[in-house]
Structure 1
Amino acid sequence: MSTSVGLYGASGTAYVLQQALSTLTNEQTQLAGQATSGVSSDSYAGLGDQRGQALSLQPQITAISTWQNSISGAQTNLSVTQSALTEIASLNTTLQTNLLSLGGSYGTDTLSTIVSSAQAALSQLGDYLNTTGSNGYVFAGSDVNNAPVTDASNLATSGLATATSGIVSQLDTLGADSVFETATSYASSGGTFTDSDGVTSSLSVFSPALSTDPVSAKALEAKAVVGQSSVVSVGMVATEGTTPADSTTTGSAIRDLMRNLMIVASLGSADTSSSNFSDLVTKLKASTTSVGISLATEEGSIGLTQSSLTTQSTNLSTMSTMLVSQLSNIKDVDIAAVSVQTGNIQDQLLASYTLISDLKGMTLASYI
């Protein structure tokens, strides 16, 4: 019986040591994983009491990353829009300069050159309005997948251009006021026009979404989410404006510029000595001045938006760094401390293995 008791005692001690070995081995494996990954646990459950804080930090970090991506895309589109808008403003400046030259004595060649310049500018305007950015057409507002101008290369021969040319050809009969008002109505309209040959064409050169009044078009401006419950309008819609159309303006700077170019492009056969011609030129001069102011205001507004987004991006970066640091303090491990713990575990394992080896060689006499 004494022998049985001795053996039972030895096996009981061995069992305890085996359990200790299992625990130490698990701890060693865990420490090795921490040393490799640099984090205390590969799951939130393993973070203990701090898992709640970690769970609340990660969504905030993800949200900030999403907002920063939104800002980055918006900034790219704004830069592209700004460049195109500068070119469009340049077209208006050239038209202003050409109109000034019509105020003095000039010959047929001068008028012909100005008419040709306006025709070429129409094609350029169409191309600029169909500029694309990081996610579609920058002047299309939220309708980014559809070109703002449906047939940019043929803008000078569009239904709107044909209708405008037809009314300008009646300048001496209708007078400058009537011609300018009708041309403005055509440029503002989304209807149709039937020419002298009975051919009906659309008066709108813009996509269906943009063929609307200027105030409604402005509501189509693209939006960017840049923070918690923070959404900003970015860019410019080709047909937007802040006031409704009237007898002298379409309410949209771009549409007014297009109308002005189409009128000038139709002056080739006009009687330059008539008072109607000079009155029409006077109206065009006033309009190009107004268009220039509107475009400059829009460029300034885009610049302010860019500056605001840059500030917001900086603030988000600072916030992200702070939150990532907090999460790191919770999840990341101290490699030096892990190394020390690993060494202690290894020492304990060695001692445990030695004890088990010694137990195997023990006899009843070892208990006496």
Structure 2
Amino acid sequence: MARIDVLGRLDADAAVLRARMQSLTRQVTTGLRVEAPGDLAPQMPRVLDLRAEIGRRDTYGSTITQALARTTAAQQTLGRLGEIASQFGNTVAMKLDPNDPQSLPFAATQARNALIEVGQLLNTRQNDEYIFGGSDFAHPPVPDPNGLPTGGLASQIAGAIALLGPGNAASVAAATRAAALDDSPGVTPFSAYIVDPGRGGGEPRRSVASADGTATEVGLFASRNAAATSTGETTGGWARDLLRGLASIAALTPASAASTADFSALAEVIRGGLQSAARALADEQGALGLTEAQLGGMQTRHLEMRDSLQEQLAGIEEIDLAKVLTQLQSTKTSLEASYNAIGSLGTLSLSRFLR
């Protein structure tokens, strides 16, 4: 009877060791402390809080990543627009000389080509969204960039410049400015949405949720400035100044230089407007760069916090592999010893057992 009791106890101990070994083996395989989430019942509220916070940080990080991709594309576009403004303001427009009227057709051709490029740049897209279209992501802010040299704006400016004559340079310049500000259909190069005061023309800049209670402005518009303030000879916006200047150069002909003084005065206005556009574009780039730095810093903080939260969650859900492997080896050794004891006890005869 004593022998049966000993075998029963050894077998029960072996069953416990087998169960422990199976549990430890599963932990090593999965890396998790428990098989089902419900087994973490005492710590489940904390686990759910950690997972929710990790998900929130991931969402912010993803949103910022998308915003930075958009601002990167915007920076490249603003940079090219700034190059065009500087090229024509500091080079082409500086060479507008009433004493060299034969050079004007070449300058006009350059300006017409630049008008098309500017229109195409203002239609830049990122992830199938127009960067300069405000919240109208699906439609181009400049519906017909290739038609800009012959469109309503260019035609009005050309009509005004065709009247350039003795003593009227100021009125011609005012007419070109008025044309650049004219948002009526058939004149404005911009979409109806983006110039409508009740829609795109009056909407705030697009922003992204970058942290709790924090919205960071990243939106840009083709028809008006976002963060920059235009100064000097300006319509109030770098895009309109750039289009006005290019359309004005595109309208010049040798006949425009007939009145030397007035041509020189108008050329000065054209230079001033293009230089104003170049300055405002640089300011827009600078402001957007500060925004990118701010978003980058927030993204880093979200990532660091996420890593910290993930480490806390791992401390609850995941095993210490080295420790569990040690326990597994110890359990295996104990189980083998138990089996050996059971085997040895099973070979004892009554006479040997009673010795």
Normalised by the length of structure 2, the TM-score is 0.82
Paired with 1:42 and 1:255, the residues of 2 have a C-alpha distance of 65
Kindly indicate whether the alpha-carbon contact (under 8 Å) linking 2:194 and 2:201 is maintained by their aligned counterparts in 1: yes
Measured after TM superposition, the shift of residue 278 of structure 1 is: 2.8
Q: Which residue of 1 aligns with 2:351?
A: none
1:55 to 31, 48, 58: 48
Match of 1:342 in 2: 328
Q: Structure 1 residues 286, 172: closer, same or farther in 2, change over 3 A?
A: same
Correspondence for 1:260 among 237, 245, 249 = 245
1:101 aligned onto 2:95: yes
- What is the distance in 2 between the residues matched to 1:208 and 1:23? 78
CA distance in structure 1 between the partners assigned to 2:249 and 2:105 by the alignment: 10
Q: Which stretch of the first structure deviates more once superposed, 167-176 or 344-353?
A: 344-353
Matching residue of 1:209: 193
Does residue 1:133 correspond to 2:126, yes or no? yes
State the partner residue of 2:299: 313
Question: How far off its partner does 1:220 sit?
Answer: 4.6
The letter for the 2-side match of 1:113 is: F
In 2, are the aligned partners of 1:44 and 1:55 still within 8 Å (CA)? no
Counterpart position of 1:71: 64
From 218, 225, 248, give the equivalent of 2:209: 225
Q: Label 1:297 to 1:215 Cα distance change in 2 as closer, same or farther (>3 A).
A: farther
C-alpha deviation, 1:291, in angstroms:
1.7
Counterpart-to-counterpart distance in 1, 2:105 and 2:198: 33
Residues 150-188 of structure 1: CA distance to partner in whole angstroms, max 9, x if unpaired? 112222122222232223223339933333333333322
Aligned to 1:322: 308
Partner of residue 152, structure 1: 145
- Residue in structure 2 matched with residue 142 of structure 1 by the alignment: 135
1:150–1:207 CA contact under 8 A, matched in 2: yes
Cα distance per residue 1:121-145 (max 9 Å; x no partner): 1011112112222452222233233
Deviation at 1:119, TM superposition (A): 0.8
Aligned partner (choices 172, 176, 190) of residue 169 of structure 2: 176
Q: Distance in 2 between matches of 1:26 and 1:185?
A: 87
Measure how far apart 1:203 and its partner are.
Answer: 1.6
2:34 counterpart letter in structure 1: S
Q: Give me the whole-angstrom Cα distance separating, in 1, the residues matched to 2:169 and 2:10.
A: 107
Q: What secondary structure is seen at the aligned counterpart in 1 of 2:215?
A: strand
In the alignment, the residues of structure 2 paired with residue 135 and residue 107 of structure 1 have an alpha-carbon distance, to the nearest angstrom, of 46
Contact 1:21 1:352 in 2 (8 A): yes
Deviations 1:78-133 (A, max 9, x none): 2221111111111111221222222x553222111211111111011112112222
Determine which of 262, 267, 282 is the counterpart of 1:276. Answer: 262
Q: Are 2:98 and 2:263, in contact at CA under 8 Å, matched by a contact in 1? A: no
Against the structure 1 CA distance between its residues 105 and 185, is the aligned structure 2 distance closer, same or farther, given a 3 Å change threshold? closer
| Structure 2: runs of 5 or more not aligned | 349-353
Partner of 2:31: 38
Distance 2:11 2:138 in 1: 68
**SS of the residue 1:171 aligns to:** coil
Does residue 1:238 correspond to 2:254, yes or no? no
CA change 1:271–1:350 in 2 (3 A) is closer
3-state secondary structure, aligned to 2:257: coil
Aligned residue identity for 1:165 = A
Shift of 1:249: 4.1
User: Is the alpha carbon distance of 1:99 and 1:337 closer, same or farther for their aligned partners in structure 2, counting shifts above 3 Å?
Assistant: closer
Write out per-residue CA displacement over residues 223-259 of structure 1, whole angstroms, 9 at most, x where no aligned residue.
22222222211152211237999xx743221012111
For 2:179, the equivalent position in structure 1 comes to 186
> For each residue in 1:275-329, what CA deviation from the matched residue of structure 2 results, as whole angstroms up to 9, or x when unmatched?
4333322222222232222111111111111222222222222212211111121
Identity of aligned residues (%): 26
Distance 1:20-1:151 versus aligned 2 partners, 3 A rule: farther
Aligned residue identity for 1:152:
P
Closer, same or farther: CA 210–95 of 1 in aligned 2, 3 Å:
same
SS at match of 2:45: helix
CA distance in 2, matches of 1:244, 1:308: 21
Q: Distance in 2 between matches of 1:267 and 1:43?
A: 79
**Secondary structure at 1:147 match in 2:** coil
In structure 2, relative to structure 1, the CA distance for the partners of 1:313 and 1:218 (3 Å cut) is: farther
Amino acid aligned to 2:253: G
Alpha-carbon distance in structure 2 between the residues aligned to 1:214 and 1:130:
22
1:86 to 79, 83, 98: 79
TM-score (norm. length: structure 1):
0.79
Q: Which moved more, 1:349-358 or 1:30-39?
A: 349-358
Match of 1:110 in 2: 103
What is the CA–CA distance in structure 2 between the aligned matches of 1:215 and 1:303, rounded to whole Å? Answer: 27
Which residue of 284, 288, 291 corresponds with 1:298? 284
Q: CA RMSD in A?
A: 3.7
**1:321-352: CA deviation from partner (whole Å, max 9, x where unpaired):** 21111112121112233234334544666677
2:116 and 2:149 in contact (8 A); partners too: yes
- Give 5+ residue unaligned stretches, structure 1: 1-5, 193-201, 363-367
